Amino acid sequence: GNAEAIWYMWPTEDAECVTDPSGMIYMLQGLAAAGLKTGRVMIAGGYRDGLERCHTESWIGIERSAGLV
C-alpha cells in the first residue's frame, strides 16, 4: 500500500541537515523514482540563528517545486 504521510525529521537531530538539504532532496527523488504515492511529506527542523532560519525557510521553495521533481 501507499503511505498516508512521511515525516522527514533528520534536521531535528542533526544540525548539519538544516544547512544541507541533499538528504531531503534524495528522499523526494527516491519517492518519485519508486512511484510511491503519499498524501503528504512533512518536514520538521529548527534553527539556532538567522542563517539556519534562512535555510529552513528555503524549504518552502523546495515544497513549492516538489511537483516538478
Domain ranges of the chain: 3-68
Per-residue pLDDT tens digits for 17-39: 999 999 999 998 998 899 888 88
pTM for the model: 0.79
CB 18 within 8 A of CB 47: yes
Q: What are phi and psi of 43, to 5 degrees?
A: -120, 130
CA–CA dist 69, 28 (Å, integer): 8
pLDDT at 1 over 90: no
**Cell numbers at 15, concatenated:** 544540525
Which of the 8 DSSP states describes residue 2? -
**Cell numbers at 13, concatenated:** 537531530
Could you tell me the pLDDT band of residue 3, with boundaries at 50, 70 and 90? confident
Secondary structure of residue 5 in the 3-state scheme: strand
CA–CA dist 28, 19 (Å, integer): 17
